[in-house]
Amino acid sequence: MTGALPPRAGRPGGGPPHHDRHTFATPLRAVDRIEVLSDGSDLRFLLYKTVNPEDPYMVGHFPGLTLLPAVFVLEALRQATTTLVGADEPLNLVEVRSGRWLAPMQGGDEIRLDVAAKATDDGRWLVTADGTRHDGTPVAAVKAVLGDRDAGELPTPAGGPLLPAPGPSGPDYTEILDRLPVRHPMLLVDRVEAFDPGRRITTVKAVSGSEPCYQGMADGLPLSRYMYPRALILESFGQSSVLLWLSTDTAEGVPVAAAFRDCRFTGEVRPGAVLRHVARIDRLMSNNVFVSGQTWDGDRCVMTVGALIGSSRPREKVDRTMAGAP
């Protein structure tokens, strides 16, 4: 089926290994198997994915503690829905209306997503999903909109892209490494351009054609298939937000995504693009932070984030292998 990620034949649950050739840019094979409950314009299916430390990007999230990034749940919904609807071009995130991440998804956990996807009159798919771990623990609740790469229009924020203002420089690359609990290839912040501690940050992420999301792609594909995955754009923004949050001295423990609200995407980002994230802290509350902002590719606004909510949790609440952890 053109543009679709097929089931993974040859591994538990089916499907080729992640290094096999694929037909569009993706950070990892985010689906092990699918059980279709109903088809047509009102799809219902169960999606399964086991958190595998050997998957692309996973070695860097986090070193010594493999956790499935929240954005890879969104990627799983994209891949599965693309496969089931038989789209000629891969579907993409258009909106994340809401996403709540309720418990960590650790290496070895099998995650099951109970998904409903409804076709809309404008050719998009409204997708809702509830996720549980194999032990029955709820892990995610998502409402998102999927569509083609041209779907979605973003109003350009007043004033256009915000360039860094003169002032103290932010963390350099070695300081970014010191502060963020991620490593290559999951480290998706290259440079801090502007930094107002506790208030605002502007960061840069250069999109390279040598990144893992482009490895294993078949030859002869159209340029559209090299569209940088929007889940990775959101992850890069999230890492920028963590850098800002850490400057407040209120984040103690492991910083994790707790929720996304009103995230919208438009336009294609391709290899060679230089993304600029502008993130602002709207509220601090106990061990939680509320961040909003935009992402720019040159003078194009390609993503707006209504709210990203981060939560700081003690390591023993995240790593269930620690002695005494529930």
Q: What is the pLDDT of residues 261-279, one digit of tens each?
A: 999 999 999 999 999 999 9
List the CATH code of the domain at 33-149+169-318.
3.10.129.110
Which of the pair, 54 or 22, is modelled with greater confidence? 54
For the cut 50, the answer to whether the pLDDT of residue 108 exceeds it is yes
pLDDT of the residue at 12: 34
**DSSP H helical segments within 196-263, as ranges?**
230-246
Q: Where are the alpha helices (DSSP H) in the chain?
A: 70-85, 173-179, 230-246, 315-318
Q: Is 106 helix (H, G, I), strand (E, B) or coil?
A: strand
Spatial contact of 110 and 48, defined as CB atoms under 8 Å apart: yes
Residue, of 5 and 196, whose pLDDT is higher:
196
Q: How far apart are CA 269 and CA 25, in angstroms?
A: 11
| pLDDT for position 88 | 85
pLDDT tens digit string along 187-223?
999 999 999 999 999 999 999 999 999 999 999 999 9
- Other beta carbons within 10 Å of 244: 27
pLDDT of 63 over the 70 cut: yes
Q: What is the mean pLDDT of the segment spanning 274-294? A: 94
Q: What is the mean pLDDT of residues 290-295?
A: 97
Task: Tell me the C-alpha distance between 103 and 279, whole Å.
Answer: 25
> Cα separation of 93 and 78, whole Å?
7
Q: How confident is the model at residue 171 (pLDDT cuts 50, 70, 90)?
A: very high
> Any idea where the domains of the chain sit in the sequence?
33-149+169-318
* 325/261 Cα distance (integer angstroms): 30
Q: What is the pLDDT of residue 323?
A: 46
Contacts of 272 (CB under 8 A, 6+ apart): 207, 209
Two structure tokens written together for 224: 């559209």
Please check whether residue 25 is in contact with residue 214, taking contact to mean a CB–CB distance below 8 angstroms. yes
The partner residues of 132 in beta bridges, in order of sequence, read 112, 138
Q: What percent of the chain has pLDDT over 90?
A: 72
Among 192, 158, 4, 174, residue whose Cα is nearest residue 87? 4
Please give the average per-residue pLDDT across 29-46, as a whole number. 96
* Residue 148: predicted pLDDT: 87
